[in-house]
Chains A and B, each alone.
Chain A
């Protein structure tokens, strides 16, 4: 059973995302949007810092620059688009998706530990840790 409301909701959501990405690509990373609140409050990098600049760079096809701004984000992004897209499909159809991107019993832990380690490492001053922080 397909829910018409969910199809409309998902359609609007995807449309909004595409419009937002287009605006972001045209305006560039230094638009009017807020930066990272965590960074503003603490002066430290969070795991998502640099993601706006990385996305803009990736939208211009500059994958190397995107990687430099947020390497973990660039690794996770393709997985997230595939895995999240399948979950969205399941939500629209109101039943578990036909195929789920599963990482096994410990895959989730690997990502959890990687995000937390990335968060800590990109704030450390010693080489090569600063390479993980956005320039």
Chain B
């Protein structure tokens, strides 16, 4: 789900829901910043949207790298994201891509499966941004495969109906 948010009067986004929750958890998007997604009547402060609040509450506080916190500033860059709850929010579309590959009978499903496979291995490496990109690609390929499969069936049906009319 794509969200837009607003900082200091500037519209930002769209970002995926997991990414928005991540930005809320780090304080980049505050509870009073306005957010909006398709289907909402108006821009609303993020703190008033239940689905976001629940997710942010479930996330641990952000990793503090300031001097006072006592955490070494030389910590590995992915220490904060490895196994983070945001990772669980990224869908891998593996099952969807297998469905379109088997049933749409179309080799286009192969890139969908490959991107889906990339999601989990990137996530295991702590590359959340990469996993999100692969997830988006897998989703796109699933829809492309489904669309092409559907189009082929429709064209076939139209052609069959046309042939029946001519006879």
Chain B residues contacting A84 (CB-CB under 8 Å) are 95-96, 99
**Interface size bucket, A side?**
35 or more
- In the complex the two chains form, what is the Cα distance from A1 to B53 in whole Å? 13
Does any Cβ of A come within 8 Å of B71's Cβ?
A: no
Which residue of B is nearest A73, CB measured?
A: B102
Chain A residues contacting B107 (CB-CB under 8 Å) are 38, 46-47, 119
Chain A residues contacting B101 (CB-CB under 8 Å) are 47-48, 115
Chain A residues contacting B95 (CB-CB under 8 Å) are 79-80, 83-84, 87, 101
Which residue of A is nearest B1, CB measured?
A: A94
Does any Cβ of B come within 8 Å of A104's Cβ?
A: yes
A107 and B120 within 8 A (CB): yes
**Interface size bucket, B side?**
35 or more
- In the complex the two chains form, what is the Cα distance from A91 to B121 in whole Å? 23
B-facing residues in A33-84 (Cβ within 8 Å): 33-34, 36-38, 46-49, 51, 73, 76-77, 79-80, 83-84
Closest Cβ of chain B: how far from A37's Cβ, in Å?
Answer: 5
Chain B residues contacting A106 (CB-CB under 8 Å) are 117, 120-121
Checking A51, A79, A101, A112 against B114 with a beta-carbon cut-off of 8 angstroms, the contacting residue is A112
Cβ proximity bits B95-118 to A, threshold 8 Å, 1 near / 0 not: 110110111111101100110111
Secondary structure type dominating chain A contacts? helix
B-facing residues in A100-127 (Cβ within 8 Å): 101-109, 111-112, 115-116, 119
Answer whether A95 and B106 are a contact pair too, CB < 8 Å, given A101-B95, A108-B113, A112-B117. Answer: no
Give the residue among B114, B117, B125 with the most A Cβ atoms within 10 A.
B117
A and B contact pairs by CB, cutoff 8 A, 25 listed: A33-B153, A33-B156, A34-B153, A36-B105, A37-B152, A47-B109, A48-B105, A76-B98, A80-B95, A80-B102, A96-B88, A103-B94, A104-B124, A107-B120, A108-B92, A108-B94, A112-B110, A112-B114, A112-B116, A115-B98, A115-B101, A115-B110, A116-B110, A119-B107, A119-B110
Which B residues form the contact surface with A (CB < 8 A)? 1, 50-51, 55, 88-89, 91-92, 94-96, 98-99, 101-107, 109-110, 113-114, 116-121, 123-125, 152-153, 156, 160
